[in-house]
Structure 1
Amino acid sequence: MLGKLFKYEWRSFWKVPAAINVFLLIITLIGAISLISPFWELNFEIMDTLMVFAIMFYYLAIMAGAIAVAVYIAIRFYKNVYTDEGYLTHTLPVAPRDIIFSKLFVSVIWSIITGIVICISVFFILFAAMKDYINTDEFVTVWQELQRDVLPVVEEAFGMNLFVFALFVILIMIVNTFFSIFMTYSAISLGQMFTKHKVAGAVIWYVAEYVIVQFGSSMLMNIPLLGLISEPYAAAAMTPSDVGAMVKLMLIGSVILSIIIGALLYLLTEYMMRRRLNLD
């Protein structure tokens, strides 16, 4: 049944985020063509001002696209589960966890797609902006110098090679995507306890969750640093590999903490749907 719910959710969900991502790609194409063109080489005083506005517009467009996808995820969950559509959703012969996970997987996939599109967009814009400074021979030389001088230092500092580090960063991003969506779902579910202004209640709960999670995780992750501050001699004697080991430990701790809190938020969302359902 979860597979059928996933297919239905995908068909109902994909159009809006796809349109947002197409918009981001169009903005990227226009920006890259503009940067490659000789337009910016014109010797007018206003050109610097136009460039600043163009950069601001591009930044705002990228941010708006990312925020729009996140907002759409929240709106769709709210409408499908806690409004009049919720009466139909909850008459289906499925468990609340199937409803949650079908929506979660689709939301995570489109969040990752949007993140990839944004990364591609930034890469092409930077590449177009630096076209006059890019030389194939110089690029190869710089890359060889990085491999020889910089990468070994980075690998020693983090105690892992660059490929493993990149995989670890990707894992963190995926875990954080699941975590942020669970925060949204749980806040919306808790917001239904308000008799009126349920949307405002969901926003309040989201802000409260965000503050609590950020404060609690910061306190836990800073415990190793507090130990170093209390023992300055030990901190001064640390080698780069010791620092790398501590950073790696903090990153792993961050992933584990996100998984634990995300699981708790999921259980809270399922409990609210199963025991405290309050439809409009």
Structure 2
Amino acid sequence: MAAARSMFFWGYVIVLSKFTVCFIDTGIVKSFGVLIPTMVERLDSDYATVGLICSIPSALTHLLCPFVKYFLTENNHRAVAMSGAVLCGSCLIACGFLGNLISLGVCLGLAGIGLSMTITPIHLSVKAHFQEKFVLANTVALYGYTAGSVLLPVLIERSLEAYGYYPAFLILGGVALNAVACAATIRKEQRYSKLDEGHKQSDDPVDLSVYRQEEVSDTSQQPFRDPGKLPAKSPRLPGNISETSPRLPETSRRLACN
């Protein structure tokens, strides 16, 4: 029962982790709206091209979720999620030092792939911990999109004004690296049976000695019959009744025995 309660409360930690990842996901997209004018000047390009490149992370994050789900069937969810978070944060930090549109697009694409590797396992973990209340738990976690779209662009705007272009990308990548801690909260969900009133059904070996003792006690109470000690002949019938005589009614047999 204590283990079941622990896993139940750990589900709220998973919800908080998904909230943070959703905060990072939409915050990156909205922060590019602050950085695009400076990126156009530094990359000597137009708004359409830079805007298209900046939309790559969000597009790949959600388009690759089915493929990531297939990849997770044979791999550790926590390891995949943490690797994706490191990839996303590292690529965002590197984007501040790139001066080429192609390299910037590739780096932002890798950031989107990493974020997809992080958000998919966390979503599955929320589904596993809240099978009956998934809609409520997922709704609370999705509030991270609203919070990220409001708060993170303000942070990047202040960072751009105070520190400049490169430090702004460093701060954005540092915020994205917080997804590593969120991915570390993923653990294997243990299932419990309602018939056992909260007792977990884990992979621990079951103690069968109790059942074996019950079987032995049940068999010991039954009379033991040795085939070698059975009577060779059937008991002699009283009176003139023999084994070959026709079968008499029950009342007649009782009278004969008396």
Q: TM-score range by the shorter chain?
A: 0.3 to 0.5
Q: Report the TM-score when normalising by structure 1.
A: 0.32
Higher relative contact order (CA 8 A, sep 6+): 2
Q: Report the TM-score when normalising by structure 2.
A: 0.34
Higher helix share: 1
